[in-house]
Structure formats: C-alpha cells, structure tokens
A and B are shown apart, each in its own frame.
Chain A
Amino acid sequence: MALLNRHGANAVIWILLLTAPVWMHWVGGYTELGSRVLVMALAAMALNFLLGFTGVLSFGHAAYFGLGAYGTAMTIKYLVPSTPLAMLVGVVVGTLAAAIIGALIVKLRGVYFAMVTIAFGQVFYFITFRWNNVTGGDDGLTNWYRAPIDLGFTKLDILHNPEIFYYVILFFFAISVALIAMLLRSPFGRTLLAIRENERRARFLGIPIERHIWLSFVISCFFVSIAGTLYALLNNFVDPRALRWDLSGNFVIMAVLGGMRSFWGPLVGAVIFVVLQDYVSSMTENWESFIGLFFVLIVLFFPRGVLGIIRRKATS
C-alpha cells in the first residue's frame, strides 16, 4: 500500500467530513444525520481499537457509551448546564467503570470474555432502568438541553445551530481519531497487534498480556464514552437503550462491515449502517428483522468488510 495511497485516502476522508453539511443536502441527507454518523463512527472506531487491533471481542461496549451519555445528561440536568463539564463527567464515569470492570474480567479470553462483557453491559442497562427517580427509567432523561459553549471570545450556539454542533462533534472526533492513530502507530500499538496476531508468541516475547489487554480495554472505553457524551448532547435525551445489547452489537457490526483490520473501516461501516437503519426504519415497522438479516448476511458473505475486500484486491 503506497504511502501516497494512504495519505490520499486520508485527505479525501477529511475533506468529505469537513464539507459534509454542504454536500449532505444534495444527496438527500441532513446535517443531523451526519452528526449521528460521526458519533456512531467514533464509537465503532473506539471499539475497533480493542476488537480489530488487539483482537479482543467485547460485546458490551454500549455500557460505557451509555455511561458517558448518562453522565452528561445528569450533569446538565441536575448540576449545571455546562457542556464541557457534562462531557468531562460522562467520560470520567465511563472510563472509570471500564477500568474497574476491565480489571475483573481480564483473566478471561475468547467467548468467555465476550460473555462477561455482555453480562456487564446488561448490569448498567438494568441499573438505569430501575433507578428511575434519578435516571428517568424507561422513559429516559428529558427536559434538558445541550448548553451553548462559551469559549470566551465567542459563544457557540450548539443548541439551535445544527451546523455549528456538527463541527463541534467533528472537532472531538478528529482529536479522538488522531489520538487513536498515534497510539496504534506507537510501540504500545504494535504490542497490541502482537497480542492479536499470536498471544502465545507475545507472551514468550515477555509481553505482559493481561496488563496490555486491560489498557486496550480502558482506552477503547475512554473513546467510546466520549462518543456517548456526544450522543446524549445530540439527542438532548438519553434512555436505557443507549446501554442495551443491541447497540453493542451495532458497534461490532459497523466495525466488521467496514473492515476490522483497517483504520477507517468502522467509519465506512458506520456510514452504511446508520444510513441504512435510518432508511429502513422509516419504511417499515419491521426494520429490526431487516437489521437482523443484515447481520446474518454480513457474517456469512462479507466478513472481511468493505475495506477488507478493497485491500485484498489492492495487494493481489
């Protein structure tokens, strides 16, 4: 893969993302859809740090996504309507939970690890469902709104101006993605690749496997909770569905669909999935069956994902 190719692809992607509010209207989209795609893409890329690059399957990432969302919503609703503070709280809560749970489960592997991540995902779903005087229960947390961001020299009205909010989201997306890229290209990132490729060999190169998996898990959940905070802000609403197993599954399918082994794969997957879901759910009540069918078809016929197939063709 020529260096030019990679830089070229990056450039195209960033240009598209930067100009999205402009061209989205031409293709029948709308800015808010673009914002939603970005949020989901960030979540999927965060998950893929663990899944595609460390080789560890987590099927409960929605828990930390949701914790980020609830942390944000509850801060604005109960504490102070400050967007930066709300985001901070959301990220801290999500990451802390990941650090603790990660430490508990890191001794497990493979399907058993996946099972436990699912179970823990459910724990938080259950908590938000039950603790309804605080979290609003099944109805969710309403009557709060993202507050304008005061930068000192200007105020960003992210509540009323979808374009401005899109760029704020893009800002956080860009920083997160840049950090992820930096980590993956570092010695630490290479160690994670080693664990993915051959855990035994990694162990016999002196790599402390559990510690690295824990770190990868925490980092992955850190970024996913950022996505969660943005999700809450985007919707001015959060409900237990932000923590549910189906959202966790959606993150995974986005990563797989786009191509787990490639950096931008989850973004591609998110674009396809979010747009598809948006379209199908407006067409029929039984959109869940279609999504389910979609999962089945991807797994059976398209496991390498879009970018996986493109890369194959390029190298052959």
Chain B
Amino acid sequence: MTQLVLFNIANGLIIGAFYALMALGLSLILNLSGVINFAHGGFLAIGGYLAYMLIPFVGFWGALLIAPFLTALIGLLVERVLIRRLYGRDPLYSLLLTFGLAYIIEDGTRFIWGAQSVPYQVPDWLMQPLSVQFFFLTGYRVFMMLLVGVAVGALFVILSRTRLGMRIRAGTLDLETVSVLGVNERILRTLNFGLGIYLAGLAGVLAAGMLGLSPTIGASLIMPSFVTIIVGGLGSLPGTLLGGLLIGVASGLTTTFFPSASEAVIYVMMGIVLLVRPRGLLGEEGRF
C-alpha cells in the first residue's frame, strides 16, 4: 500500500512539475501585462508539432532544443502584431483576442496535421523503466522532471540575476514607475511574452513525448494551469510553482484512493483556496 502511495505521489510530483512549467509561462505574461493568454495551450501544441516536424532532421534532442525557441519566435510575432495594441484597454479585449487565437491554432493544427494523434518519437533508451519495482518511473519521466527543474531553475536565475529579469520583476510590481525610469516598456513586455511562450513551447515538446500529440493537447492542459495560478497565488511565481506541485501531488494521491476523482480534486482545491484565502497561497495582497 505504501508503495502505491509513494508511486502516486512521485507521479503526482512529475505531473505537477509539468503543470508548473506551463503555468509559469502563463503567470509571467499575466503578471506583467495583465493578459490572460488563452492561447497558451495553443502555443504548447505548436511547440509539440514543431518538434514533431523537426525530429526527422535534427533528431529528438535537436527538436527539444530548437522547437521551443521557434515557438517563442512565433509568440513574439503574435505579441508584436496583435496583442501589443490592446495593452491600454480593458483586459476583456486581450482575453477575447487570445481566445480567438486559441480557436485558430487548434483548428489550424487540426487542418495541417489531422485530428488524430501523431506518433512522437522518443529515444528508446529513455522510455525504459528504471527498475522493475518502480516500473512507472521511465527514464523519460525522470528526464522530464529534471528538465523542468532545470528550466524553472534557469527561469528563476534569469529573473533574479539578469537585468531583463529584474526589470520584469519590477515591472510586475509597477510598470509605470519602471518605464519612467527609462526602461522600454514595450520591449520588456514583448520579451516577457516571448519568455512565457518559450516555456509553453518547451512544455509542448515534453508533453508530446509523454501524452502523445493531438490538436486538443493544448486545451486539455490549460485548465490545470489556470487552477495552478489560482491555488498558488496571484502575482507570485514561486506561488505558481508551489501550486503546480501541490495540485499534481493532490491529484496523484487521490488516484490511490479514488481514481475517478483525481481530476476533480484540483477543482476542489481551487474551491477551498478561494473560500479560505482568495488571493492564493502565496498571492500578494491587493493584486486585484
């Protein structure tokens, strides 16, 4: 029994890390620019499909490296051409815009690659379980967890050590002041958006290997990202990370006892958090 519980917790951590990766990108964009990127799932799918296209040319590792950057480039383009115009306006409009983009991306990927899942090639040696006992712990899952860890670590290093990072953090608190201090607000928003989309693209590549690739992959993963942010705390990146891990573990634990409720539990957690502490676990006061 304990083994089963541990199994599920470990599994949950892995899933949670993944949710956190997605949600961090979403959170970055939300906190700095006040934009709910409903198309985040779409960018995730784009990341996966781009990687899928690249594998025949550069192999698994090359695709893993390049696809997120390409996705980020597309994100930068979208921000520059479309989203930028909406910053001063009611958040309603950027939400509607990203909503429309989500439609377009989902339908577009379906049009190009078909509605069925496409096979995503992961190197065989990665797919081996690490031991007979822990059969679920394939190399791929461990690898994914490590990669997420590296990515999140890199993100936090960027945010705390680089100039861009510091400006993003300051801008999240008070964009007006930051721009008065001479920082180019528009470039900051664009780069921040690109960073967020990079994370989405990376998540997409990883998800492709784990879940398989289909046009609806984005839509199915975006909700846990929302819940992650709500639970972890509005306006807080560490909160998002914590939130992701928490709901992943909660989901994993529930699988042990009530397998059918494992998805529902994340919504229950959201309800509880809203009841007890509306701003989220690590959320900042006055953010809303």
The verdict on A109 contacting B274 (CB below 8 Å), with A292-B104, A293-B100 known, is no
- Whether A104 contacts B271 by the Cβ 8 Å rule is yes
By size class, the interface of chain A is: 35 or more
Main secondary structure of the interface of A (DSSP, over half): helix
Interface presence of A162 (CB below 8 A): no
Contact, CB under 8 Å: B270 / A119: yes
> How far is it, in angstroms, between the C-alpha of A292 and the C-alpha of B85 when the chains are bound?
18
User: Chain B's nearest CB lies how many Å from the CB of A125?
Assistant: 9
> Would you call A110 and B230 a contact (CB within 8 A)?
no
Contact assessment for A288 and B93 in the assembled complex, using a CB-CB cutoff below 8 Å: no
Q: Given the complex, which residues of A lie within 8 Å of B270, measured CB to CB?
A: 116, 119
Contact B267 A110 (CB under 8 A): no
Q: Are B30 and A289 in contact (CB-based, < 8 A)?
A: no
Nearest residue, chain B, Cβ from A295: B100
Does A303 sit at the interface, judged by CB under 8 A? yes
A115 touching B226 by the CB < 8 A rule?
yes
* CB of A179 closer than 8 Å to a CB of B: no
Q: Which residues of A contact B36 (CB under 8 A)?
A: 111, 114-115, 118
A113 in the interface, Cβ–Cβ < 8 Å?
Answer: yes
A253 CB-CB contact with B under 8 Å: yes
Q: Is the CB of A112 within 8 A of B101?
A: no
Evaluate contact between B278 and A292: CB separation under 8 angstroms: no
Contacts of A296 in B (CB 8 A): 82, 97, 100-101, 104
Size of the chain B interface, CB-CB below 8 angstroms: 44
Q: Of B82, B94, B111, B230, which is within 8 A of A116 by CB?
A: B230
Nearest residue, chain B, Cβ from A55 = B90
CA distance in complex: A59, B226 (Å): 13
Q: Which residues of A contact B274 (CB under 8 A)?
A: 104-105, 116
CB <8 Å contact, B104 and A115 = no
Q: Would A119 and B227 be within 8 Å (CB), given that A112-B234, A112-B288, A292-B107 are in contact?
A: yes
Among A105, A110, A111, A295, the residue within 8 A (CB) of B99 is: A295
Question: At the interface, yes or no: B58 with Cβ under 8 Å from chain A?
Answer: no
Q: Check A289–B108 contact: CB distance below 8 A.
A: yes
A291 CB within 8 Å of chain B: yes
Please give me the residue from chain A that is nearest to B223 by CB atom.
A122
Q: Are A246 and B103 in contact (CB under 8 A)?
A: yes
> How many Å from the CB of A100 to the closest CB on chain B?
10
Q: Bound complex: CA of A307 vs CA of B49, how far in Å?
A: 41
Closest residue of chain B to A249, judged by CB? B99
Supposing A112-B234, A126-B267, A130-B263 touch, asked if A57 and B103 sit within 8 A by C-beta, the answer is: no
Q: Does A107 contact B (CB under 8 A)?
A: yes
Whether the Cβ atoms of A59 and B95 lie closer than 8 Å is: yes
Contact B264 A130 (CB under 8 A): yes
A57 surroundings in chain B (CB, below 8 A): 90-92, 95
Contact of A286 with B by CB under 8 A:
yes
**Of the residues B90, B101, B111, contact of A286 by C-beta under 8 Å:** B111
Q: Is the CB–CB distance between B101 and A109 below 8 Å?
A: no
A298 within 8 A of partner (CB): yes
A300/B82 contact (C-beta < 8 A), A104-B274, A111-B34 known = yes
Question: Is A123 in contact with chain B by the CB < 8 A criterion?
Answer: yes
Q: From residue 225 to 246 of chain B, which have CB atoms closer than 8 A to chain A?
A: 226-227, 229-230, 234
The minimal Cβ–Cβ distance linking A47 to chain B, given in whole angstroms, is: 12
Cβ contact within 8 Å between A256 and B104: no
B282 nearest CB across to chain A (Å)? 14
Say whether A256 contacts B264, CB under 8 Å: no
| B-side contacts of A123, CB under 8 Å | 267
Instruction: For B223, list chain A residues within 8 Å (CB).
Output: 119, 122
CB within 8 Å of B: which A281-316 residues: 286, 288-289, 291-296, 298-300, 303
What mask results when residues 35 to 59 of chain A are scored 1 for a CB within 8 Å of chain B, else 0?
0000000000000000100000101
Q: List 28 A-B contacts (CB under 8 A).
A: A57-B95, A104-B274, A104-B275, A107-B278, A107-B288, A108-B288, A110-B34, A110-B288, A111-B30, A111-B95, A114-B91, A115-B30, A122-B226, A126-B267, A249-B96, A289-B107, A289-B111, A291-B103, A292-B101, A292-B105, A293-B100, A296-B82, A296-B97, A298-B96, A299-B86, A299-B96, A299-B100, A303-B89
* Shortest 7 CB-CB contacts between residues of A and residues of B: A295-B100, A292-B103, A292-B104, A288-B107, A289-B107, A296-B100, A292-B100
10 extra A-B contacts, CB within 8 A, seeds A294-B100, A299-B96: A59-B95, A104-B271, A108-B288, A119-B227, A123-B267, A127-B264, A288-B104, A295-B99, A298-B96, A299-B100
